[in-house]
Amino acid sequence: MESPALEVAAQQLARGEAASRGHSSTEAIANLIGKTVSHYRIVEKVGSGGMGVVYKAQDTKLPRLVALKFLPEVGAESSEALERFEREAHAASALNHPNICTIYDVDEDDGQPFIAMELLEGQTLKEMLAVASISDRRSGGQRPPLQLNTLLDLAVQIADGLDAAHARGIIHRDIKPANILITARGQAKILDFGLAKWTRAGAGLSHRIDNGGVTAPADHTSAPPHDSESSLTDTGMAIGTVAYMSPEQARGERLDARTDLFSFGSVLYEMATGRQAFDGKTSGAVFGAILHEAPTPPLSLKPDLGINIHD
């Protein structure tokens, strides 16, 4: 349930094509270690998934380490996978905010596109909550997974990053704990804009008041020309990760910035309770919960949360 629908499809495509070719993607990955791609020397592999392989690399022009994200070789032949990869590069590169992973460069090597981005060390919010959940069970399951001051600090940072994206007319569409990284210094970073949607005008969390009316921030970025009616944004498609989708995502309707706010609310619920706001044994059951049910009140799951709030 934690993989976007397109990501699942891309993974299946990758497995099928790799099998038909009779070679292992692991061997291709190993061949990049120690090589120089453009002006980046590959140091080590740091992660991989259906839509990208990430390496730590040394920038030979500037004294810094970066993360290089490559579209997997098999994925590069999928037009949808390539479009998502390009979408991530365009969307994230338009944003410059301390709570959004910074894009340095977009290039390709021997036909393989890659993104050079900020190298982040830490753990995802998903990993942080998993560790907190283990500690919570040991303590009897009463206290919130995160201390309230930590929860509020991270929440403000994530909201600020989303506000910056929305003000530039960019909707993330896949806000979930796995796409939020917490650095060793406690800084939240929003990752993976591969499902981002561009809108014609910004719609940030905070609006300015003008002559008694509410208007969206004036500063916004227009969508790339190829993005207006792409296959990734057509009405009728459910785009995102099932457990964190908004109702309009689940129904395949047109989206605006509010869909990220709903997903963010689901993330906040999980940060406070250690449980997903909407759960089920199948994707259909989760869709049904999102559309027709209200989450269990947090205080009934974590009575100590109320104590912390009143303190």
Indicate whether 187 pLDDT > 70.
Answer: yes
C-alpha pair distances (Å), 20 with each of 24, 70, 76: 11, 22, 16
Domains in the chain: boundaries: 5-118, 122-310
Alpha-carbon gap, residue 92 to 13, rounded angstroms: 26
Topology match between the domains 5-118 and 122-310 = no
Whole-structure pTM value: 0.76
Phi, psi of 100 (to 5 degrees): -130, 135
Q: Report the pLDDT value the prediction gives residue 2, as an integer from 0 to 100.
A: 43
Q: Report the pLDDT value the prediction gives residue 125, as an integer from 0 to 100.
A: 96
174 is catalytic: yes
- Given its phi and psi angles, is residue 146 left (phi above 0), alpha (psi -120 to 50 degrees) or beta? beta
Q: Which class in CATH covers the domain with range 5-118? A: alpha beta
Indicate whether 127 pLDDT > 80.
Answer: yes
Cβ-based neighbour number of residue 280 at 10 Å: 17
How would residue 36 be classed by pLDDT, with cut points 50, 70 and 90?
very high
Q: Show Cβ contacts of residue 108 under 8 Å, excluding neighbours closer than 6 positions.
A: 114
Which is catalytic among the residues 136, 174, 192, 227?
174
* pLDDT tens, residue by residue, 233-279: 344 456 678 999 999 999 989 999 999 999 999 999 999 999 999 99
What architecture (CATH level 2) is domain 122-310? Orthogonal Bundle (1.10)
